[in-house]
Structure 1
């Protein structure tokens, strides 16, 4: 259940674009055509699916305070958390180079259409944000880290695919001159963000109901305890008399 909840929350509620507005430069620049948006979105999913679990391993076994204890008791006091940014970015840059080599080898047309934005995935704040959110949320296992990386990538993919499809159609619409281009794109993005974040009530409603039920049970238990206390006090009064 935890995996499913994390998966859907990462796609819809905590969407990289619509909730935190990360990766907006690539989102705006490469969303003019659906074909290029699909290519870049797939590359982002791949990079996040690889880098988030790898950075989780780095965080758990190297960077966190006491993470080097597996090397020996004398290393238990080491704290390398100040190296998080450097290590995370190094992992991301390595994976992006791998993606660039693969895309250039198997799809030269997509490689040319993505242009400079493919190597710029290395400095895409959505990619680094995935690893930093994984670290700050203290994801407990490698499986959850992989789940979060894939789901975050899918969320970013859906965002850029949706805006690309809309921008291809809106090209033939009568948009007011001051809003043409990025103006109408930002407005549509804001409306889409409202739509995506509205899923929050659907995915967290059960949690709220469970909390209410727990609160009701606690109140009932308190009432029962107070009645027991009254009965005990009555018994004590009878004994004293």
Structure 2
């Protein structure tokens, strides 16, 4: 078990070890959905919820089923199954109770299943040997950090709609440049707190 205060892990996963801006995990939906602030925030909330819950579930399954029975080699498959099942449950709940949100997110809601940031969080918590509280706060902080990054990018892209850009930079080009600049800005937080 790693002897790091869970609050430090939570803060670091938002700023200095941000899944998008430090590890570049979850870029597909990050770039595709970040056109509207409202949609970006809604997807960010869904990703945060899924990250937090699947961190808890995957921690419990890994430490109380896979590890005691010597089945650690199945963690990739099991983690993916847990994530897929949980995202399916979230999708059904959103479709039932938040129909407008369901249609605004469209195809990107089921794509949370293949968001590599979610699998990455579960694998990082195993590799770093986090305890239960550390794992859940790492998942929640990673989701909040992902949401912060996608909403910031959506706000910048909204402002860029009225800007005159060179033809070669329009679309994905400027989005990737902005993401790189945001990553550099978040790198400035690395002097505050960092986890390995």
Question: TM-score with structure 2 length normalisation?
Answer: 0.94
Deviation at 1:165, TM superposition (A): 0.7
Gaps of 5+ in 1: 69-78, 208-241
Q: In 2, Cα distance between the equivalents of 1:63 and 1:18?
A: 31
2:24 paired with 1:4: no
Which of 175, 189, 196 does residue 185 from structure 1 map onto? 175
3-state SS of the aligned residue for 1:132?
A: helix
Q: Which has the higher helix share?
A: 1
2:75 paired with 1:42: no
2:112 paired with 1:121: yes
User: Residue 122 of structure 2 corresponds to which residue in structure 1?
Assistant: 131
Q: Which has the larger radius of gyration?
A: 1
Q: How does 1:70-219 map to 2 (within 5 A)?
A: 79-139=70-130, 141-203=131-193
Deviation at 1:202, TM superposition (A): 2.0
2:32 paired with 1:29: yes
Q: In 2, Cα distance between the equivalents of 1:178 and 1:41?
A: 29
Q: In 1, Cα distance between the equivalents of 2:72 and 2:6?
A: 27
Could you say what the CA RMSD is over the residues aligned between the two structures, in angstroms? 1.4
- The higher relative CO (CA closer than 8 Å, separation ≥ 6) is in 2
Q: How many residues align?
A: 192
3-state SS of the aligned residue for 1:147?
A: helix
3-state SS of the aligned residue for 2:113?
A: helix
Moved over 3 A (4+): none
Q: In 1, Cα distance between the equivalents of 2:192 and 2:138?
A: 19
Residues 62-117 of structure 1: CA deviation (Å, up to 9, x unaligned): 222xx14xxxxxxxxxx201110111011101110111011111221221121111
Deviation at 1:148, TM superposition (A): 0.7
Gaps of 5+ in 2: none
Q: In 2, Cα distance between the equivalents of 1:12 and 1:191?
A: 14
Which of 9, 15, 20 does residue 17 from structure 1 map onto? 20
Q: In 2, Cα distance between the equivalents of 1:119 and 1:52?
A: 18
3-state SS of the aligned residue for 2:73?
A: helix
Question: TM-score with structure 1 length normalisation?
Answer: 0.77
